[in-house]
Amino acid sequence: MLLTIYPISFTICLVTLIAWFYFKNNPALSKICGIGFFGGLATYLLSIYLADAEISYKLMVLARDLAIIGGVGYFFGMIAKNKLVFFAFLALLYGALQYKFTEVLENTFAENTTNEFPAAGADNSVELLVELKPGFGVKSLEDLAQGYGLNIQEAFAPADGEITDLDDYVTVDIPDHELVATKNIISLLERHPAVEWVEQNDVYQLDLLETIPQKRAPRDLKKFGLNDPNLKDLWGFQEMHVDALYAYLKKNKISPKEKANIFILDTGVDAKHEDIKANYKSLNSRDDKDPMGHGTHCAGIAAAVSNNGIGVASFSQNNEFVTVTSIKVLSARGGGTQQGILKGIIKAADNGAEVISMSLGGRSGDRGQKAYQQAIEYANKKGAIVIAAAGNSNDNAKFYAPANAPGAITVAALDPDLNRAVFSNYIQEVDYGIAAPGVNIYSSIPGDKYASFNGTSMATPYVAGLVGLMKSIRPELTTKQAHDILKKTGAKTGNTKETGRFIQPAKAVKMVVEM
């Protein structure tokens, strides 16, 4: 609602103030315009107050908006006597609102407003990520920066800088008028004595593949021993033999050594969702909302509350094994950047993630993303296993990041016939490939609702949920160990070479227990 009220109230303030100046010699109309202006202003200020953003950002927006309203109002008051000029500029203002500024208003609080995680549209000007050699800092690129008007800033601030080179990265913002020289700037950077590595700060956009569920439900709901009514919509539970997992955990009285925290790096998660909130662990209130719904859907797949009489279920039958946490790295519209995602990986690792689930990415703009590899290595050293979606382009996952990043477990999507989904990228040329259900996947969406979506985005949290369960039983489990277990215990698919093995939770957990 705020995303609508804020731009509308701003527009009302602007229009009524202009009209107020125009009708200043007409007492009746002037009074109506004045009432409209102050009513719009009160609504506008309320929308700013209620916005989910840092106070510094709110003050910046307030100063910007009031300056625009006041300046435009004053200008139109000056030219009000000349109707021809007045209406000509009014037409120009209307065109500006339609062309660009309305979009700016709509995105002011829809995007990532803390500036902690850049999102698509928010930092498109940050073109490059550059790793500096040890002992060099931002000032070492000062001559090059001045020559092209570059804005160079530190890119990452990992808590344990001594175990990674991520704190040696800087961002390079190229001015619009110098974008034609991008290739030359990259060449100069690559030859610079202070520079170790240069890569593009790729921009990504989610695909939300909504679908209509097919009637391929578990045949015998009683065997699961749960009362969640929408088990009937989870065809994957039948094919993954989740009933065998539950039976094994119960019969052998398996308990976790510690709860594994699964971090969902996405559009946010609806922390108040009826089927998530009991398993949810908040890191920051700004991450606990999800305007798009993608992150909430993934969180429900990975860690929905089981046996609570509502919604769906997850691999943790009694909810003792995992929690789920959100870090918002994508905008309300599903856009994001490589730098924002890397910051999310670092933040998750620094806050005790056991599993990092990333249902996101896109085709790589470079021959390789060294920063992703270093971020995943950092997460591994901090005790986390990273899971990434293979991508939805029916293409080779080796061309897509972070799916192609060394050290990530990359997940392909299967359809109900256990064939590679028609959209799923294939994974035979990545380090660690595996498969999970990714077609007609029913899960939570914001507002205590549920829906079915398609995508490797949906397959990924199935693997994250299972790895979280495995990590809770054996916290020291590494990425290689986890993938080896998933591969050895996995089932063949209709295209095993292209998809990797299909996860079988009961067999995987049994192997973990017996390690």
The catalytic site residues sit at: 266, 294, 457
| CA distances (Å), origin 355, targets 159, 383, 387 | 18, 8, 7
Instruction: Say how far apart CA 25 and CA 21 lie, in whole Å.
Output: 9
C-alpha closest to that of 467 among 297, 351, 302: 302
Task: Provide the token pair at 386.
Answer: 């990273």
Question: CA 395 to CA 362: how far, in whole Å?
Answer: 11
Please give the Cα distance from 357 to 411 (Å, whole number). 10
DSSP state of 408: P
- Give the contacts of 430 (CB within 8 A, at least 6 positions apart): 390, 397, 398, 403, 404, 408, 410
Residues 6+ apart with CB under 8 A from 64: none
Q: Quick check: 374 and 404 in contact, CB under 8 A?
A: no
The Cα–Cα gap between 501 and 427 comes to 11
With helix as H, strand as E and coil as C, how does 263-326 read? EEEECCCCCCCCCCHHHECCCCHHHCCCCCCHHHHHHHHHHCCCCCCCCCCCCCCCCCCEEEEE
Q: Are 231 and 443 within 8 A, CB to CB?
A: no
